[in-house]
Amino acid sequence: QETEETRANLPRNMIENSMFEEEPDIVDLAKDSTTFPALDPDEVVYEPRSSRLLVRGLGENDMDEDEEDCESSARLLGMSFMNRSSALRSSSSPYTRQAPPSSCSRPSARTMVVCVFVLVIVASVTMALYFLPGCTFTKTGCRKPNKTTPLEPVYPLSTNGELFPWAQLRLPHSIRPLSYDLTLNPDLDSMTFTGHTVIQMSVLHSTKIIVLHSANLNIIKATFKAARDVTVLEYKPRQQIAVKFPEELKTGQYCVLTLDYSANLSHTYDGFYNSSYIDKAGNKRVLAATQFEPLSARKAFPCFDEPAFKATFLIKISRKPNYMTLSNMPKAKSTPLSNGLMQDEFEKTSVNMSTYLVAFIVANFTPISKNASKTLVSVYSVPEKKEYTDYAMDAASKLLEFYNKFFDIDYPLEKLDLVAIPDFLAGAMENWGLITFRETSLLVGKESSPLEKRVVATIIAHELAHQGNLFLAVRFRAMDKDALNSSHAVSTEVNTSEQVEEMFDSVSYEKGASILLMLNASLPWNQQFTKGIIQYLKQFNGLNTGTDDLWNSLTQVCRQNVSEMMHSWTSQKGFPLVTVSRKGNQVTLMQEHFLLTSDNGTLTSSLWNIPVTYVNDSCSLAPECRQVFTLKTKSGTLKLPGNVKWLKLNYRNTGFYIVHYGDEGWAALIEALSTNVTVLTPEDRASLIHNIFALSRLGRVSFHQVLNVLKYMSKETETSPVTEALLQLNIIYRLLDKRLEHDLAARMKSYILDNFGPLMDKQTWGVEENVSKQELRSALLGMACSLNQDKCIQQAKALFKEYVKSNGTTRIPDDLQQVVFTVAAQSEEDWSTLLGLFSATTYDAEKRKMLRGLASTQNAWHIVWILQAGLKGDIIQTQELPLVINTVCNGFTGYLFAWDFIQENWDRLIEKFSVGSYAMQIIIKSATSQFSTKAHFDQVYGFFSSLKERGSQMRSVQEALETIRLNQRWMDQNLPTLQKWL
């Protein structure tokens, strides 16, 4: 499952929106920090409305609720309420934990005796517990059983009050499903459905119960070899049902369980959910689609909803005659029913599948089709968007042929459908044979730019790589998140459904892909990695695998211990900092954990097996220049040939580590770049910029050194170094702006415009065909206009005026649309015009850019309206709410509105986007990553403490708290330096 464009590995078109289009950039600018305990719900009480107004210095008032939201926030824009520094905070704020009184009366002698007596009793009980044979102490008390005396499982109560006969999150392995026969009857008028599920199973171990998953399903009837009496129990917190039998099922026995049930179509974006869109005639059209990854097949039919429980599926769906249905397999037949409906039956799946890859759709879509590599490829869309499907068809057909050849494995299914869903939260989902997409991820206009087409092609390529469990390593950035103490290892045990959801993040996806890229780059140039991947895919075809299975396959082909190297990267969180020190031709490399939150409580002794690649001034550009040194221990030494002026580690930034060259090493690299910018590859130049900012956040280099590295930027011509530099500077600018350091923010703005102005001025506003130049132009002009550069603003306004005047016949170049729409949204009149265009536009890529523009407004009333409209979902689809919140938070006016909105609508948000989901991760990070004061920390801590099981223990919450503290410390430590420098 992919979030749109975040998995596309493309530079963002707008620095302004980088936090949404990629994993949001974590503003963790600090030298060190403290660790954070788990949130204690009883420690802080959250009072949304009164505390919000107290923090803003307004007190209570008697306004209508909607008026209050907008009016109080609007008035505050012209006041000093946004200065949230501790010095200006009201001491009565409920977000601040109150200190005890500074003095108290002296206790009496009697009180002292009683206290001593109580302490003696407590100490005695503690010692007694300590020596109990069945208890091993942990930090939280006597809860961890020792190995000699295991505790009995505690069985919970089912919904009817009877003990539920299973006590674990994961299902027992006594039963193995073999096949599912599913009959589904959706009613798109009442938004309900009924189902009939027949599961054929094999008994692996004798048992009296069958435990499987069911969520929000009303089980009407259960039969098991009709003669048997069966009891069905449900335990809702774990979404499990148990079928109990009076007699034991024997090992080796085959059996059939039949379940009839009813349910509502989901109104969120998972399970079997209802969707809608407005057609070109203005009529509302409804449809039903599925999204089962990771844990939602159980919301559509009772099943063994874990990836290891693979089975075959035969699916039948009833529909009205004017609708069509799709599923993983081709349609076998259609049968008229007595009630006037049609029942479509699909072929039985030709391969065993995990439940999360099952999919079906009931809609009125229009396809285009062609045969490619003996497979029928089809692209489906709503009828009025059929004209946008040609590019996806072409890309999918070519990619399918490429993958068949590259992996030496034929696509395993008879057909491949790519479907654009009008209302779809993820970017795309790799259901076997029926890949579902957001419309913006699949549909491309005939006049779209190569840049826009590349986005769609990359997403299609990623999703096709899943088919048949094919693997494709993709490179993404994940270091900002992995540098936090709240990060996690790539391979991590999960114990709750929320933790499963949270594993769909940049560490799992992007770091996982990055370390595979690093492995590939460290191997000889003879396709060993590809050969190992092919062997792995063929050996484990159709099976579940563990991490070691992949490493073992690569080890056999590569003839080196890949498992030893990769285990250090997958089993521990974080990544290394490699420090270089040089004496003549002898270079010493030291490794340590790059951890932004570093104090005595968080220092680690982690070691990585690092394939350190390096080049030097005698040969630095071609792949043949690259040399490899393996650093397995704390330090290692390598020798250079004579007369080496400078050394650059991590060739083309293929390694997942940060490099510190020391004062002399950095000086030599800076001198080399000032003489000839092309002496290093663009990837190497971008990595130097990223590394120097990271080292500044860690406190290892001064900000003056950061500026020295950036001095060469006026000569830069490539996208990746420019984009990285702008992103890092923009982070600091936003922190200053939202901390009310207006003078410093203004001077930072001047610095950016002065240093990047020549590059900005070179950009044209006409059609540009070169993709790389489009990316660079979009980044530079996006930054220029966001900083209100006069030339940029005037050009953008002129383009928008011409676009409106021509009734849309004059096209704004794709890479400039975001810049133009964002500038237009800052005008009251043009914002209203843009809203009208947004409502009328049918091409989704352009529509989404208009939405970003609308959300970038600095008008308080408009901000409140767009947040509420996104939640309501009529004018603005709720699937776009994370994007809206992220864009609003980028602006000075909107970031506090968004934080209020999230607090007051939390329950509705987690109803739409489940706790732990990627959407909620984006929302939390967007709203909190630019806070940098203790007052803000206390607010965030207080709110999330109050949530208890509704979100308080999410990893993204701990990440948010850590980020705020890091922001605070960096600002406190660096403001004097910035004042002196700027």
What residues are annotated to the active site?
463
Q: Are 454 and 774 in contact (CB under 8 A)?
A: no
Reading phi first (left if > 0) and then psi (alpha if -120 to 50, else beta), residue 59 is in: left
Among residues 895, 820, 890, the alpha carbon closest in space to that of 860 is found at 895
What span, in angstroms and rounded, lies between the C-alpha atoms of 416 and 565? 38
Place of tokens 């309501």: 872
In the 8-state DSSP scheme, what is residue 34? -
Please give the backbone phi and psi of residue 100, each rounded to the nearest 5 degrees, phi first.
-70, 165
- Burial (0-12, 13-18, 19+ Cβ within 10 Å), 200: middle
Check whether 660 is labelled as a binding-site residue.
no
What span, in angstroms and rounded, lies between the C-alpha atoms of 756 and 688? 18
Q: CB neighbours (10 Å) of residue 465?
A: 19
CA-to-CA dists, residue 887 to 265, 329, 833, 880, angstroms: 31, 40, 19, 11
Place of tokens 């599912």: 180
For strands 647-649 and 254-264, give the pairing: unpaired
What span, in angstroms and rounded, lies between the C-alpha atoms of 608 and 402? 35
> What is residue 293's three-state secondary structure?
coil
Q: Are 5 and 848 in contact (CB under 8 A)?
A: no
Report CA 873 to chain centroid distance, whole Å.
22
Amino acid at the residue 515: I
Check whether 567 is labelled as a binding-site residue.
no
- Joined together, the tokens standing for residue 527 give 């396709």
Amino acid at the residue 98: Q
What span, in angstroms and rounded, lies between the C-alpha atoms of 892 and 872? 24
294 preceded by a cis bond (ω within 30 of 0): yes
Q: What angle do CA 321, 322, 328 make, to 5 degrees?
A: 80
Among residues 376, 342, 974, 897, the alpha carbon closest in space to that of 698 is found at 974
Residues 6+ apart with CB under 8 A from 581: 587, 588, 590, 662
Q: CB neighbours (10 Å) of residue 635?
A: 12
Binding residues: 462, 466
